[in-house]
Structure 1
Amino acid sequence: MKFKRHILTSGLVATALAASVGMVGASSHREAPAITKTPKVDATDFYMFRSYERGRKGYVTFIANYQPLQAPYGGPNYFTMDEDALYEIHIDNNGDAKEDLTFQFRFDNTRVKNGKHIRVPVGDKKLAIPLRAAGPISAGDTGNLGENEAYSLTLVRGDRRTGKSRVLKSTSGLDSFTKPVDNIGKKTIPDYDAYANRYIYDFKIPGCKKDGRVFVGQRAEAFAVNLGEIFDLVNLVPLDGASFPGGIMQSRDNDDLVGKANVTSLALEVPTNCVTQGDETVIGAWTTASIKHDNRYGTRQVSRLSNPLVNEVVIGLPDKNKFNRSSPTDDGAFAKYVTNPTLPFLLDALFRDAVGADDNIAPSNFPRQDFVTAFLTGFPGFNQPAGVVGSEMMRLNTAVPPRLRNLQHSYGVVAEDLAGFPNGRRPGDDVVDIALRVMMGALCHPVPLGAELGVDGAVEDEDSDLINLGLCDPEDAPVGNAPFTDGAPISAAELQNVFPYLNTPLAGSPN
């Protein structure tokens, strides 16, 4: 396969992007003050990658997660979607920072049997039960389920509000899809996998020779992060204890989400040639949620997410709500937070002593051009589209072939796995460690890729396979080569190998 603009000779630049974008590739839970009031439209993670399920390499998968920190036992209503909201996945396939394709999801959770909920005789009255199910549910028998949640899927070409739209139908002719009820527990749904898999649909895409796939439903959280400790002023020594005395050791015990919480996933798989345009192989994408505002003015956007941790640790507190309401074309308003990021200042204040430094340990290469490239343009020759307009979105070079799960490296591109983060993002890509290291200047130091990959202007260390990318000087980042980590690992081996990739949600009752 030919890679656009000599991708194999630009792997080093890809490595730079891997590290740079890494700082924003983490889960976005309750990231702005306003969104805490409307958790049903709170986007948590966004994934975009070449499908690595066997036989599906000609497809791109998009997963937009919503409703953070779902307790598995969170009944009796569990986590239905907002009927008054519009959930969208936007794709820019020509680099102009505007959506060219938008997949829209609208929900209806009032579909009940014969227009009535399940009712039982109590004395001389027949009354609706307080639960969503009156007995066990299986893939072949949902008669005990009293309320169903459904959604429609619409494709808009061009502007998401004024472009040409088409309601999409399943290959069997359905224009309404079912969202499986959340994983209530083993007694209610003895085989949740068989039940939920029934609601993976093939659907027709106008103008495409191949069909897409869609699934919307609860999944197990896949983002590994030491969340509580990080937001408690990084209440740990964020250095790998295996190589730094007093640092944190890698352990699942440090993870606050994986194996403990669920999310709701909107998962799409679309043929690659149906989301690209012409000879351009790089696409950008992001997800938004909007709510009804005024019948005269339609909806108001309240959530926006692509590279997730942007709003938590890059955008300043006064502008967080504004960022959630913005579009990629507005991103010039937030450039100051990229050229002069504040988190390194905080890490310096918290950990100067921990790393044995006498002076400021935060990078001093202002403006941070490495961040500007990572956030707003992508890297030339790898995942920067021709004629790019600077904007914050996740970018994927679809010319890079996918890697099977057992061949993936959790550090993605920085570990010479070009199909991984930040060339899109896969569920098994561990982005937090990269985030911390790059925040503290990892890109100012030589990176571990050999000269055989070649980058214009890069200088190889004659005594090693390391390359100095020339983005900044090592003296600008005195601890840029320190092993920063949150101690919470993740790998593709812990996740599913087939669409929708994220694991079966944790059961409310495992008994």
Structure 2
Amino acid sequence: MNTLLKRSGLAIAVAGLCISAGAANASSHREAPFITEVPKVDGTDFYMFRSYETGRADFVTLIANYLPLQDAYGGPNYFDLDEDAVYEIHIDNSGNAQENLTFRFEFSDNLNDIQLPVGPDGDQQMVSVPLKNIGDASDGDNVQVSQEYTVSVIRGDRRTGTVETATNVTDGTATFDKPLDNIGEKSFPGGYQAYANQHIFEIGIPGCATNGQVFVGQRKEAFAVNLGEIFDLVNTNPLGPRDGEGAGDLADKNVTSFALEVPTECLTGTAVTGMDQPVIGGWTTASVRQARVINP
């Protein structure tokens, strides 16, 4: 299988009480010409840090962002992920710049096929609704198309290593629901944040004694940069007055985040020692099939 690969990465040191940043390889926000043809697998930023919520000090949070520059009004299809792609977060804990542990995400569509009668009385036809939802989107019966995903845990090479399936602790299945994107207040009368929070799942990670947490869905873009000025021949004045605070040109954009919280001991394994502490590296990739042999 030939694949198109997009990656971004980060290396950190996991200390007894802290995480310190190391070397980082930046990724693009659509600057790479070829990735513009397949924006659903465009990886932007990757973050890896020690969880800072109360009681979560023994966890590491991994966040991989994909599909940048999402506009709030990007309907009616919005920003589903690619069913034919694999999205992966890789961890190197042996210091050889090769993955020892991979978390693979794969997505599939769920079609509810809500139909409504259209036409004059006596000659009506049932027509599928061309929208994501026909009412309160927090009620699955009102949703036309949604997505779910699985998480596989691969030890060793990401293509030839040992593959095990993570479980949704909530219901004992191997699937997790991805929330719809933020269509608007009328579609989410109870508030989008409350709806999205229902899609934070406890995840059973094979080989880990303690469960983690996982969420995949639309989030507000946290990257701060004035893209317009940068691409306009670097039309900025770093010594001049600041026009305002915030995320610049990305202030009103969204992105799809893969957030995975993993027990630290599950990531370090036999990590090499540096500065008297285990050191791990992490990066993300997205791959899509480029060719398929029908009759070899």
**TM-score, normalised to structure 1's length?**
0.50
Greater share of helix: 1
Residues 132 and 56 of structure 1: is their aligned pair in 2 closer, same or farther, counting only changes over 3 Å? Answer: same
Q: Report if aligned partners of 2:90, 2:102 keep a CA contact under 8 Å in 1.
A: yes
Aligned position for 1:286: 283
Compared CA separation, residues 267 and 254, structure 1 to 2 (3 A): closer
- Corresponding position of 1:360: none
Is this contact kept in 2: 1:236–1:248, CA < 8 A? Answer: no
1:193 is paired with a residue whose SS is helix
Alignment partners' CA distance in 2, 1:151 and 1:217: 11
Structure 2 unaligned blocks of 5 or more: 1-12, 273-277
Q: Could you tell me which residue of structure 1 aligns to residue 259 of structure 2?
A: 267
Question: What is the rounded CA distance, in whole Å, between the counterparts of 1:122 and 1:5 in structure 2?
Answer: 63
Q: Percent identity?
A: 54
Q: CA deviation at 1:233?
A: 1.7
Residue 277 of structure 1 and its aligned partner are, at CA, apart by 2.2
Match of 1:186 in 2: 185
- Please state how far the C-alpha of 1:237 moved relative to its aligned partner: 1.5
Q: What is aligned with 1:144?
A: 142
Aligned residue for 1:68? 68
Structure 1 residues 223, 4: CA separation in 2 closer, same or farther (over 3 Å shift)? closer
Matched letter for residue 182 of structure 2: N
Residue identity opposite 1:276 in structure 2: T
Q: Distance in 2 between matches of 1:43 and 1:290?
A: 10
2:44 partner letter: T
Indicate if the aligned counterparts of 2:85 and 2:288 stay in contact, CA closer than 8 A: yes
**Paired amino acid for 1:255:** G
Q: How far apart are residue 54 of structure 1 and its match?
A: 1.5
Q: How big is the shift at 1:252?
A: 2.2
Q: What amino acid is aligned across from residue 242 of structure 2 in structure 1?
A: M
1:125 is the counterpart of 2:118: no
Whole-Å separation in 1 of the counterparts to 2:145 and 2:91: 33
Q: Which residue in 2 is equivalent to 1:103? A: 103
Q: Is the 8 A contact 2:91 2:282 kept in 1?
A: yes
User: 2:153 is matched with which residue?
Assistant: 155
Distance 1:143 1:253 in 2: 38
User: Helix, strand or coil for the counterpart of 1:237?
Assistant: coil
Q: Call closer, same or farther: CA 1:251–1:148 in 2, change over 3 Å.
A: same
Shift of 1:226: 1.5
Offset at residue 7 of structure 1 (A)? 11
Note the 1:71-470 alignment, pairs <5 A.
Answer: 71-109=71-109, 111-113=110-112, 117-123=113-119, 124-138=124-138, 141-171=139-169, 172-190=171-189, 191-239=191-239, 247-249=240-242, 251-252=244-245, 255-258=248-251, 260-278=252-270, 280=272, 281-295=278-292
Secondary structure of the corresponding residue to residue 47 of structure 1: strand
Deviations 1:384-434 (A, max 9, x none): xxxxxxxxxxxxxxxxxxxxxxxxxxxxxxxxxxxxxxxxxxxxxxxxxxx
Task: Give the TM-score normalised by structure 2.
Answer: 0.85
Contact 2:103-2:153 at 8 Å conserved across structures: yes
What CA distance in whole angstroms lies between the structure 1 residues aligned with 2:198 and 2:62? 20
Query: Which deviations, in whole Å up to 9, do the C-alpha atoms of 1:227-260 show, x marking residues without a partner?
Result: 1111222102123xxxxxxx232622771113x1
Whole-angstrom distance in 1 between the partners of 2:181 and 2:245: 25
Cα distance, 1:122–1:66 mapped onto 2, change above 3 Å: same
Matched to 2:174, the amino acid is D
- Native 8 Å contact 1:42 1:66 kept in 2: yes
When the two chains are superposed, the root-mean-square deviation of aligned CA atoms in Å is 2.5
Give, as a single letter, the amino acid of the residue that structure 2 aligns with 1:56.
R
What number of residue pairs does the alignment pair up?
Answer: 271
Tell me the amino acid that sits aligned with residue 69 of structure 1: L
Q: What letter is aligned with 2:143?
A: L
Q: Is the alpha carbon distance of 1:6 and 1:273 closer, same or farther for their aligned partners in structure 2, counting shifts above 3 Å?
A: closer
Q: Hey, what's the Cα distance between the residues in 1 that align with 2:152 and 2:271?
A: 26
The alpha-carbon deviation at position 5 of structure 1 amounts to 9.8
Tell which deviates more after alignment, 194-203 or 266-275.
194-203
Distance 2:14 2:173 in 1: 38
Contact 2:90 2:101 in 1 (8 A): yes
How far apart are 1:279 and its partner, in Å?
A: 5.5
The amino acid of 1:52's aligned partner reads Y
Aligned to 1:33: 33
Letter aligned with residue 140 of structure 2? T
**Counterpart of 1:229 in 2: which secondary structure?**
helix
CA distance in 1, matches of 2:193, 2:14: 39
Alpha-carbon distance in 1 for matches of 2:61, 2:208 = 16
Q: How many angstroms apart in 1 are the aligned matches of 2:99 and 2:167?
A: 22
Q: 1:54 to 1:76 in 2, by over 3 A?
A: same
Q: Could you give the per-residue CA deviations for residues 333-390 of structure 1, whole angstroms, max 9, x where no partner exists?
A: xxxxxxxxxxxxxxxxxxxxxxxxxxxxxxxxxxxxxxxxxxxxxxxxxxxxxxxxxx
